[in-house]
């Protein structure tokens, strides 16, 4: 008589081999997270450069051409050639300088405590007036 194990086929033999399925969901999740990360980390601002001569020590580096000195004072004040002015007056005078046959160089001296953004704003004001030769000075005792 045959043994019971010989009459019954083994369950292991009858099982069909399943094909291993690879889910793409984790891969899509990772790609989506990377996409979101790079979108948030990217900057979509348009950057522009400011053409300037390198900073020089106070009183040095002159080439003999006429110059106008604009000091940026802490608290937002402006000083044009030793006289306090407001921004509208500065804009008006710089436009007048730009209309001269030989426009002067503009020396910009930010005093200690003046933000870089304020200095860039004044440089933009100078360029908007039509003066192209701009030089940034270091304040006395500055490093």
Tens digits of residue pLDDT in 92-110: 888 888 888 888 888 888 8
Domain that holds residue 92: 1-143
pLDDT at 54: 61
Residue 26 has pLDDT above 80, yes or no: yes
Q: How confident is the model at residue 143 (pLDDT cuts 50, 70, 90)?
A: very low
Residue 58 has pLDDT above 80, yes or no: no
**Do residues 129 and 94 touch, judged by C-beta distance below 8 A?**
yes
Kindly report the average pLDDT of the chain as a whole number.
Answer: 78
Closest CA to 138 of 51, 60, 50, 79: 60
Strand partners, 67: 105
Q: How many domains does the chain have?
A: 1
């Amino acid at each position: 008589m045959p043994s019971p194990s010989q009459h019954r086929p083994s369950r292991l033999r009858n099982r069909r081999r399943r094909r291993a399925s690879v889910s793409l969901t984790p891969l899509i999740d990772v790609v989506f997270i990377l996409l979101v990360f790079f979108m948030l980390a990217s900057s979509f601002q348009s950057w522009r450069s400011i053409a300037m001569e390198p900073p020089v020590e106070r009183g040095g580096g002159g080439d003999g051409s006429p110059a106008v000195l604009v000091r940026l004072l802490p608290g937002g004040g402006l000083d044009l050639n030793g006289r306090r002015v407001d921004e509208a007056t500065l804009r008006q005078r710089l436009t007048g300088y730009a209309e001269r046959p030989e426009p002067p160089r503009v020396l910009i001296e930010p005093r200690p405590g003046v933000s870089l953004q304020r200095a860039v704003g004044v440089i933009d004001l100078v360029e908007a007036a039509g003066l192209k030769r701009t030089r940034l000075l270091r304040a006395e005792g500055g490093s």
